[in-house]
Structure 1
Amino acid sequence: MPGMAWLAIAIVAEVIATTALKASDGFRHTAPSVITAIGYGIAFWCMSQAMRTVPVGIVYALWSGVGIVLITAIAWVLYRQVLDTPGLIGIGLILAGVIVIQVFSKTTA
């Protein structure tokens, strides 16, 4: 499987794990806590597979950037955690960085 496919799986697993982490309420609830642990395990394993062919800096930039944007959107919908204008601008800049890497970088193959 190509590195970027592994990275996409890693991002999805990390987003699921982070969403479950919030629901675990400080690891007080068993099911979300287990989902968190398994999700992060899958995320890091898949990210390590992506790093076999994609540079570590690109993998980490995309993993963290896309994860931040997705988690922010999920927190807005599920937990009504709305960002103020500076927060939205910051998220927009992160998204712009991810787009620049994906569209213009030749190192993401």
Structure 2
Amino acid sequence: MSDQQTADAHLTDADERLEIVRSVWREVLGVAEVADDITFFDQGGDSLRLVLLVERLNQTTGRALKTVDLFRAGTVKGHSKLLAESDNSATSGFRGTSRADLINAARARRP
């Protein structure tokens, strides 16, 4: 079974999908516990951490989730639902957008 098939199998199970999202949230936020129904920002996140969250979820799941979709979904449960509905595997060569890439792009736009 390929890595992508293994990731897809984990994403079909609701409990495993929730645990994947919780784990990434804990990593990005640097906390021991997260609540499933509290928004990322209420849990202590900010816009830069949201970008990191998108990158880590994409790396972990092989999906190509968008920052705006995670912002709108907002909670662990919402993000888990996005993963359940998302069958758009990341295309080969997709690597997400790192924080450094975003900072460098913002600096490049300054006059």
Give me the TM-score of the superposition, normalised by structure 2. 0.33
Give me the TM-score of the superposition, normalised by structure 1. 0.33
